[in-house]
Amino acid sequence: MPELVGPPVVGLTVVEVDGCFHIFNPATKRAVALNETASQIWRLSTGEHDVDDIVAALAEHYGLGHDDIEKQVRATIDELCAEGLYAEAATR
């Protein structure tokens, strides 16, 4: 079973400025600012892509190797998950 990432939990307030997202989670009452890379990961966190898909997309975008960025992508997904931004059972 692939590790599908997302979808976002319902009820978030998501705004985008210059390609970067700010997300307010009413459940935690926290606003999270995503940098450009994290925003790209968030954009792909629809529940339809697994971690390898996202790593591949970012590796292509930045012209880097899969192994070069996999650790960072996984860490970012873990942070987004810890912020409660993904629907609970969806990211695995």
Partner 1 sequence: MTAPVSHRLAVNLLGSVFEVDTDDAATLADVRRLWQPFLEAAADPSGAAAVAVRLDEASAPQRLQHFATAVNAAALDAAPHFAVHAGVVAYDGVAVAMPAVSGTGKSTMTAACLRRGFRYVSDEALCLSYDDGAVLPYPRPIALSPWSVDAVGASDRGIPAVDEFLFTAEDLGSERQAEPARLGNLVILDRREGAAPALSPEARPNGVTLLLQLSFNHYRRPEDAVRLAADVIAGAVVWRLEYSDPLEAADLLWTSFVGERPQP
For binding to partner 1 (CB under 8 A), which residues are involved? 13, 15-18, 20, 22-24, 26, 29, 31, 33, 35
- Tell me how far, at minimum, the Cβ of 29 lies from partner 1, in Å: 7
Residue number, 22 or 43, with CB nearest to partner 1: 22
Nearer to partner 1, 31 or 82 (CB): 31
Count CA atoms within 13 Å of residue 25 on its CB side: 15
Measure the CA–CA gap between 36 and 75, rounded to whole angstroms.
Answer: 15
User: Residue 21: what are its φ and ψ, rounded to 5°?
Assistant: -95, 145
